[in-house]
Structure 1
């Protein structure tokens, strides 16, 4: 090994607000420190966190022992909060917070394994998804706090959808720039139709169907990115079924290439913020292999109707928008 060719690790960046930014990979992910999230964020710190988020796509905080109210206050520094989820309700005292336990993933895995052959297409993209794209206005940012974390396992992967688009050949980019895809809930989402009992807040529980551009323009940075979701994208409009599936398979492969990814190892009190406008994620990636408890709580910052490279704006085909908490 030629030691002279090794590149030094990028030095931590110290901002005017005392936020410290330490990149994890050259293309996605940064550890943030120098801020105590139990305290209200001042404008300069919030701006520096947002700038780091737009540069590194997902940011990680450690040792943030915060309450539910402090979690929500942190999220509101970046915009109004949504309800916990369009289908599943949040905590009774905190309707903005969606609590997930690893047992729920195991139940869904068992149900999927027991589906009769031929009842559903055998598509398996290892849990990769963008949050809540079956609504026409998916959330802007997602914020996840580790409440009960096992000593090992339960990692989350994130991938940079802007880099994935930029890695495509110009001819493929031109092909997909003017295409739209349908995103919708399925009978297998979050316990299926059995889970769709009336909500405490009176909101509808779906089904939800939306039409989105296949290539989205990031509303803050102006960059183009792949906007497709293995969990909810059913087909590309205007293509034959075999053409649609072949193109989606190609794009899913590109979107989840290892060189565009970062892997986060959770620890108790960790907090992750990702730009849901530019990132897909998968996790916990190994839930079927361990029996240890794992509980996380998520809030989401409200988003807008995505705009495509051809200026097409997303449309709700069925179901209401993902409106903010009143």
Structure 2
């Protein structure tokens, strides 16, 4: 039996498509190793025609490590590790900004697995950008300036209180999440724990300030970095079809869920694999 995966790059910096793998079946060690090394190299992998039940998505994600349970997002019935991102007229999208998932904790996720379940007639693409490519494109003086700086990441920047007042229970859950997740600090440039590559690690979704700088310096530098990381040449864009799966390295990427389909409905399931403390 041929276990060699077909992994075809979609661009020079980020993105590849895997064409001969059924994620609903348990992966052999050889298949998993190729998938993992492909992920390290390409930062985000895409697979078409993957019919995954929440339990199967969880089983795949656990191969990569322990799973995160999100403090406010709803989850699949009986599978709390699978977040349900169900956006529609009564639940507007909130992922239409450039962000790295869950950087508001001490050990942000290493990997995420997103599966499409219900899609709008058109629109709703997701874009990923490479923090590695963004870092490597910086000049030597800017790299030197950023090296050693730390930035604050805050849960409240993306999860705004007014969005969680539909019910007393929802607001209470938001308040508990705020108490449990005070702002944390991470290096502005992080080193990938496996590849050793350096990547830009500030994102518009959660990064509030560079703690070592004055307010105006921080605002100016973050404004530049937020714009720099979203240059089109560092990106890959995926047009979803039903039962597509994307697997990405959350340590060195950012993504943007295009909200151009709203108020149509879009349902995605996400598993999030915990990572380690950035350095």
TM over 0.5: yes
SS in 1 for 2:116: strand
Say which of 76, 79, 88 aligns to 1:103. 88
1:35, CA displacement in angstroms?
1.1
SS in 1 for 2:60: helix
1:240, CA displacement in angstroms?
1.1
Say which of 137, 142, 154 aligns to 1:184. 154
Greater mean alpha carbon deviation, residues 165-174 or residues 237-246: 237-246
- Correspondence list, 1:160-239, <5 A: 160-186=130-156, 189=159, 192=162, 194=165, 195-198=170-173, 204-207=176-179, 208=181, 209-239=183-213
Q: State the partner residue of 1:13.
A: none
Residues 37, 64 of structure 1: 8 Å contact kept: yes
Task: Give the whole-Å Cα distance in 1 for the aligned partners of 2:202 and 2:116.
Answer: 27
Deviations along 1:116-168, one digit per CA (max 9) or x if unpaired, are xxxxxxxxx96000000111111110110001122321000000000100000
Task: Give the whole-Å Cα distance in 1 for the aligned partners of 2:173 and 2:91.
Answer: 25
Q: State the partner residue of 2:231.
A: 257
1:146 equivalent in alignment to 2:86: no
- Show structure 1 runs of 5+ residues with no match: 1-15, 110-124, 308-326
1:81, CA displacement in angstroms?
1.5
Name which one, 1 or 2, has greater alpha-carbon Rg: 1
Residues 141, 301 of structure 1: 8 Å contact kept: yes
Residues 105, 287 of structure 1: 8 Å contact kept: no
Q: State the partner residue of 2:271.
A: 299
- TM-score, normalised with respect to structure 1: 0.78
1:41, CA displacement in angstroms?
0.7
1:271 equivalent in alignment to 2:245: yes
Residues 157, 208 of structure 2: 8 Å contact kept: no
- TM-score, normalised with respect to structure 2: 0.90
Q: Summarize the Cα distance change of 1:273–1:191 in structure 2 as closer, same or farther, 3 Å threshold.
A: farther
Structure number with the bigger relative contact order (C-alpha 8 A, sep ≥ 6) is: 2
- Show structure 2 runs of 5+ residues with no match: none
1:94 equivalent in alignment to 2:79: yes
Q: Summarize the Cα distance change of 1:296–1:190 in structure 2 as closer, same or farther, 3 Å threshold.
A: farther
Greater mean alpha carbon deviation, residues 44-53 or residues 148-157: 148-157
Deviations along 1:37-79, one digit per CA (max 9) or x if unpaired, are 1110111111101111111110000000111111111111211
Task: Give the whole-Å Cα distance in 1 for the aligned partners of 2:48 and 2:225.
Answer: 33
SS in 1 for 2:56: helix
Task: Give the whole-Å Cα distance in 2 for the aligned partners of 1:232 and 1:214.
Answer: 13
Say which of 26, 33, 39 aligns to 2:12. 26
- How many residue pairs end up in the alignment? 271
Task: Give the whole-Å Cα distance in 2 for the aligned partners of 1:251 and 1:99.
Answer: 30
